[in-house]
Amino acid sequence: MQSNSIKKIVIVGGGTAGWMTAAALSSLLDKTQVSISLIESEQIGTVGVGEATLPHLRFFIKRLGIDEQEFMRRTNATYKTGIEFINWGQVGESYLHPFGDFGQSINSVDFHHYWVKQRQTGDKTDIGDYSLPVVASKMGKFDYPSSDEQSILSTFSYAFHLDAGLFAKFLREYSEEKGVVRTEGLIKHVKQDDKTAFISSVTLDSGQSIEGDLFIDCSGFRGLLIEQTLKTGYDDWRHWLPCDRAIAIPCETMSAPLPYTKATARDAGWQWRIPLQNRVGNGHIYSSSYMDDTTALDVLLQGLDAKPTGDPNFLRFTTGRRKKAWNKNCVAIGLSGGFLEPLESTSIHLIQLGIMKLLEFFPDKHCDEIKSAEYNRMMSLEFERLRDFLVLHYHATRRNDTDFWNYVRTMSLPDGLEHKMELFKERGHVVQYTEGLFLKASWLAVYLGQGVIPTHYDYNVDAQPQAKVENFLKQLKGNISDAAAGMNDHAISLANHCDINVNQTPPPASMSLYGRDA
């Protein structure tokens, strides 16, 4: 091993970010060459509100050699096939953003162009009727996707709803078994090298000093190392994403868990509903410029399905990102690196991405600026593209019933987003990123779900005989409906796959797809 190789890694902070980082580094680095320490304090609570995930998490736990079904049992997890958005385009409207495609291309022309032409001829079939995960979600169904790419059952993916606190505990056990040393304590002093300003050690309230070559800041919104010590700076995005408060509270579960998250738009923000095995996670994200805390809590409590099982947890945040996620020999992962409201369940994904990019550009003790600059470029790009996708949800609305919705509907947009929206409105073209999380189907879900319908479709659509297209769409819709009906109920799949028994009572009719707000 070269003398300038990293030998000591210090992770500051636990929670989801800290223990995901510890688990990955302890599993994927040579533990005979690198020691890993994690410092956390029981006196500092974790945010722990992000209980909905994206399909990428499946590949993270698989790479770490963790059994998916054991992971689900230990974290009270359920399956997730998408997110339902209620009241976003207009009050009373709803759509589901699925982990899967809409239809399939015909003669290399994207399916939604055919759908747009049919709509112009008077066909009002919802675009979701041509998506298996949408139809299956409405039925409360879930089965594992088929490995046969020719099967309609292969046209979707899935993620999880999980208990973030249990997830961190599970990963702590995993990490400690792989040699990670956890130290309890509050950091009272951070020492920096006089010449390089690199962090050299941290001193705890007990007086213990812990040295390191590379420090990972997972201290949450405080940014103990990346901001309080290194003064890195922060890009504030509240102009585009004005929500800056959240209240989280769990409640009892009264029926079989649905295989999707709910995001219901309120007067000055939105409310989430995340079904776990043993409870439902709820929260209200809102803007303090348009709603006070007392009103926000009342809105949240009135929107619960059942009796709360805990006290409300009030949170404050500033949407944005650190100007550098990697500064000197410190890398910020999780909330210390930036925050985007959990509208599309991106929080854990950003943690995962930060970890994997760190492994890709893993440094030596000098922390070469070429590596850190590329890491920062890629993380900044991901944050910006996720920001734009979230802004789309707010801006692509027809609501004018409150000052909040009037503001987001008329606000100026980040560079490039207005062009993307206008291009879709005019020609149905979805601008594709060469790098980025959300692909074409995701943008289509929000555009079409919130009433942004293209004026024109691809002219190649007219080359297909109308009767042939109509027959194809009818057959596709029927095949999807039949395939969804043949899937197991979500609760039965949990029992079969993971030996998890949950309430199998179906949701009441008023709670089917649209919840209490229909």
Residue 246: closest CA among 193, 350, 317: 317
Residue 320: closest CA among 343, 334, 337, 342: 337
What residue type is assigned to position 122 of the chain?
A: G
Dist CA 11 CA 18 (whole Å): 7
Buried b (16+ CB within 10 A) or exposed e, 75-103: bbbbbbbbbbbbbbbeeebbbbbbbbbbb
Strand ranges in 180-254 using DSSP code E only, listed in sequence order: 181-184, 187-192, 199-204, 209-211, 214-217, 234-236, 245-251
**The tokens of 35 are what?**
């020691």
Q: Which residues contact 176 (CB under 8 A, 6 or more apart)?
A: 182
Dist CA 467 CA 379 (whole Å): 48
CA angle 496, 497, 499 (to 5 degrees): 65
- 16: alpha, beta or left? (left if phi > 0; alpha if psi -120 to 50): alpha
Residue 284 CA, chain-centre distance (Å), reads 16
Residue 106: closest CA among 452, 476, 455, 478: 476
Helix (H) or strand (E) holding 375: helix 369-395
Cβ atoms of residues 300 and 283 within 8 Å: yes
Dist CA 440 CA 458 (whole Å): 16
80 catalytically annotated: yes
Give the SS3 label for residue 96.
Answer: strand
Residue 460: closest CA among 49, 90, 119, 110: 110
- Which is catalytic among the residues 62, 80, 195, 440? 80
Question: What pairs with residue 276 in β-bridges?
Answer: none
**The tokens of 471 are what?**
């027959």
Catalytic residues, by residue number, are 80
